[in-house]
Amino acid sequence: MIKKVALFLIALLPLGAMAQNVKLGHVNSQEIISVMPELETIEKTLKELQDQWEKELLKMREEYNTKVKEFVDKQATMPETIKTARQSEIAEIEQRITTFNQTANADVVKKQQELVNPVLDKVKKAISDVATEGGYTYIFDISTQGVVFQAKTANDITPLVKKKLGVKDQPAAAPAPAAK
């Protein structure tokens, strides 16, 4: 029996030695991305694109509202064939608006991905560089809620990644004055 316990302990010895070489860290990539200087440009570009789409959509809605008002005002005196033609025309405009809206949303999402992906790649590379330089075995991204437990002694490399990227924390906004 003692031989079995000794053999068991000897078998566990290499596992204990390997466990000592594991270095874990965590990072909050969302916090890093939120202070990246590129974010302001991305938000401005997306806002301009959304505004362009919105202007076009507004024109289409105005056309639709004009046609509907005209139809409602004159439908009592319209022959049935013209009434049917106008209803088809209004339905066609509704379909164009729906299609246009879907196209606009897809375009904005595509542009957002196009603009954000280089920033994400830059942050991933910085995390990888910091992890390699620091000898980390694993880095967990706490912004994805992939970690269910975090010891108080856990290594947060978020400040190191920010430093690597040359970004600084933005100061907290001053509280609004109290209403009188």
Model confidence over 121-147: pLDDT tens digits? Answer: 999 899 888 888 888 888 888 888 766
- For residue 97, give the amino acid letter: I
Q: What's the angle, vertex CA 124, arms to CA 119 and CA 129, rounded to 5?
A: 125
pLDDT confidence band for 169 (50 / 70 / 90):
confident
Instruction: Give the SS3 label for residue 167.
Output: coil
Residue type, 176: A
pLDDT at 81 over 80: yes
Nearest CA-CA partner of 125 in 168, 152, 117: 117
Given pLDDT bands bounded at 50, 70 and 90, which one contains residue 158?
confident
Question: pLDDT at position 20, please?
Answer: 58
The rounded distance, in Å, linking the Cα atoms of 90 and 93 is: 5
pLDDT of 9 higher than 90: no
Residues in the chain: 180
- Can you name the residues that pair with 24 across neighbouring β-strands? 138
The mean pLDDT value of the chain amounts to 83
Model pTM greater than 0.95? no
The three-class DSSP label of residue 38 is: helix
Residues 6+ apart with CB under 8 A from 107: 49, 53
Tokens of 75: 């439908």
Round to whole Å and give the CA distance between 43 and 39. Answer: 6
